[in-house]
Amino acid sequence: MKNGNLSHLIPDLVVQYLSQITSLPLTFVERVSGGDINQAAILSLQDKTKIFVKWSEHALPDFYECERDGLERLRGVSKYFSVPVVLGCFDSVSLSALFLEYLGEPAAPQERELALGLADLHRVTAPQFGLERDNYIGLSPQLNGWSSAWSDFFVEKRLFPQLRQGRNLGWISNSDCAAFERAFEVIHGELCEYEETPSLLHGDLWNGNVFWGARTPVLIDPASYFGNREADIAMTELFGGFGTHFYSTYAEAHPLQDGYERRKISLNLYHFMNHANLFGGSYTGEVFRLIRRFS
């Protein structure tokens, strides 16, 4: 399939962007799933090199640039995991695109390496919690800035923005807000009891954002910031999670403090609220169930 016959498979702008990355002719396009957010394809070049590209005609401002930034923050942190090389990031009024190293076919899970790599990631620290720029978690804006206290940062920058969005969407009523605010006070007090040095986080670490590469696990789609490392571990337990070997290896490499099993409920409220705002459905009921636990 030659370059001139590809317009029905990928937008012309994607082809134009590709020409800024390589002079090699495009010879084949395989459309693949881009998940809930993107359209995607594997591009084959004349020399048999393959490139993964994802694009959107309705991307949020700097959406792919934030992903590129997150990947670069994770790069080189550990020999136990890798991240895809960013080949190009383009943004225009009509279409935005991110070109990445093609990772090949998935291999067998390497949960020990993932755990050791995550422990290495969490040893990268900062003086404060947050990040110098805002980014995204899924399609939701993720506010950052800096804070000296994890409890303040988590409640103000993670929970309250989701509450405001839930009110805007209508699934949280004005009368519900008092219960949410009481729950947030309880969570704030709970997190005050345990402060830890801010660690670099993946930020959106469920099993769908780990690709099992031929040599190492590959972390994709980060929503990175400096936070309490328990937030990453807590999220791994959602949406299928990982095997017991992952958790036992991490616990040996970088033990969690007492009380994690209680705190993870508070930490995962953020992700349930985000999913309720993005997808609705059963996630809204799960959010209210969690809020009642704090009343």
Reduced to 3 states (helix: H, G, I; strand: E, B; else coil), residue 222 is coil
Q: For residues 187 and 266, give the distance between their C-alpha atoms in angstroms, rounded to a whole number.
A: 6
CA 20 to chain CA centroid, nearest Å? 27
Q: For residues 233 and 229, give the distance between their C-alpha atoms in angstroms, rounded to a whole number.
A: 7
In the annotation, is 204 catalytic? yes
- Given a contact cutoff of 8 angstroms between Cβ atoms, the answer to whether 246 and 280 are in contact is no
Q: For residues 66 and 70, give the distance between their C-alpha atoms in angstroms, rounded to a whole number.
A: 6
Reduced to 3 states (helix: H, G, I; strand: E, B; else coil), residue 102 is coil
Q: For residues 273 and 285, give the distance between their C-alpha atoms in angstroms, rounded to a whole number.
A: 10
Q: Which residues are bridge partners to 211 per DSSP?
A: 218
Q: For residues 165 and 171, give the distance between their C-alpha atoms in angstroms, rounded to a whole number.
A: 9
Among the listed residues 12, 91, 152, 204, the single catalytic one is: 204
**DSSP label at residue 30:** E
Active site residues: 204
